[in-house]
Amino acid sequence: MKKTISLLLCAAIVISAFSFSVSASNEQTVKNEYPVVLVHGMFGWGSNEGINSIAPYWGATTGSMVNYLVDNGYDCYAASVGPLSSAWDQACELYAQLTGSRVDYGSAHSSEKGHKRYGRSYDKPLFEGWGEDGKKIHLIGHSFGGNAVRLLTYLLTYGCEEEMNACENPSPLFEGGHEDWIATCTTICTPLNGTTAYNVASHRSLIKLMKIIATLWAATFGRSIANGTVVDFHLEQFGLCDIPGDPDGKADPFLEAVPRFLNTTDSVDYGLSLKDCKELNEMIETSSDVYYFSVAYDCTQKSSRGKYIPKNIDFILLGVFSDWITGMGSFTDEDSGTEIDESWMPNDGLVNVKSALYPFDEAHKDYDAKSVEKGVWNVLPVRKGDHGTPIGLFADKSETRNEMIELLDIILATE
């Protein structure tokens, strides 16, 4: 009996020791509880727009990703910014939405781009407490939204001297010194260096046609009751839409506002070009206090004949676009001076894999769970799928959700 009791006690001690070891290990990898803010791409929308209840941007045909994440214990939000706006304007809109303040595009920027300085006001922040008592956020941008979150992170860290000197009452966004408000900055399928799809479409005059259609659509739809109740274009700075909640903020005359936006370079169409992305990269830099992650998707495969053909396509239309990009061959982008060779061929249907990995002029490394660095792009392995796969557009529901959970577990494990 004594031997039996002794063995049981030994077993209990071993089990207790093992349990303590596991508990200690878990304590070392406890996930932080900072909110996750998702930022959509071109032609996208956030959770607070009417269309999202019918067709959520994050989740698309697989159902609301935000609701799924919240139900599973993640503190997650999907912001809304201008779906046709430039990265600068989107960053300013995102800041105002996060802080519950009036959108200030900056005195210098607005003067240079020929649009109004102020936009709408947000009565309350997207969530409470950002920047207070060490409360940071995780920013995740899909497609063009990735450049918006990069720029917001840069402005919060370094500010903008030009804007600070341009007027007596600059936005707090341009002060800088708030790098401790951002925990991580993550881009998914983002044209960090531009996309050759822009060149393809531009050569076929499709960029101009698309902008004309989008402008007329925004100007017409944006003046109706549907703007803000179904989808919101956030283009009041150009006078295309009324300023929500401002009785004096009426849209400008149609024939005045439309040419203004058609002729501007302060919009998403120009922002996709290799030249604009190169200029953006020259202006901004990473913050040494922020973790950066990037995820690229590839829906092409090199054939036996050396051609890159569409594969792993969820949205069939992107297969057509992917073939456009891979059929480009070698050329030099005259505006940016970038030489396009075979390394640019793999793509997700809209963005080249090479461009989505990291900004060419910033430090980067392959992702290593044991050695994640701040101020450096931690590049995750390229995933199979097209541009819409990570947001669930005609994708497999379980795979879409699992890939997002996997990404969140990575960024939430940072200190």
Whole-angstrom distance between the N-terminal and C-terminal Cα of the chain? 50
Active-site residue identified among 40, 115, 138, 387: 387
CA atoms of 118 and 121, how far apart (whole Å): 9
Question: Can 138 be counted among the known catalytic residues?
Answer: no
Strands 102-104 and 118-121: antiparallel
Residue 9 burial (10 A CB sphere; 0-12, 13-18, 19+): exposed
Instruction: Based on the residue annotation, tell me whether 314 is a catalytic residue of this protein.
Output: no
Q: Other C-beta atoms within 10 Å of 176: how many?
A: 16
DSSP string, 242-290: --TT-TT-PPPPHHHHHHHHHT-SSBHHHHTSHHHHHHHHHH----TTS
Catalytic residue among 86, 143, 273, 287: 143
SS3 call for 390: helix
Q: Determine which one of 107, 348, 355, 386 is catalytic.
A: 348
355 part of the active site: no
The two structure tokens encoding residue 180? 């401790």
Q: Can you tell me which residue has the tokens 């939405």?
A: 97
Which residue numbers are catalytic? 143, 348, 387
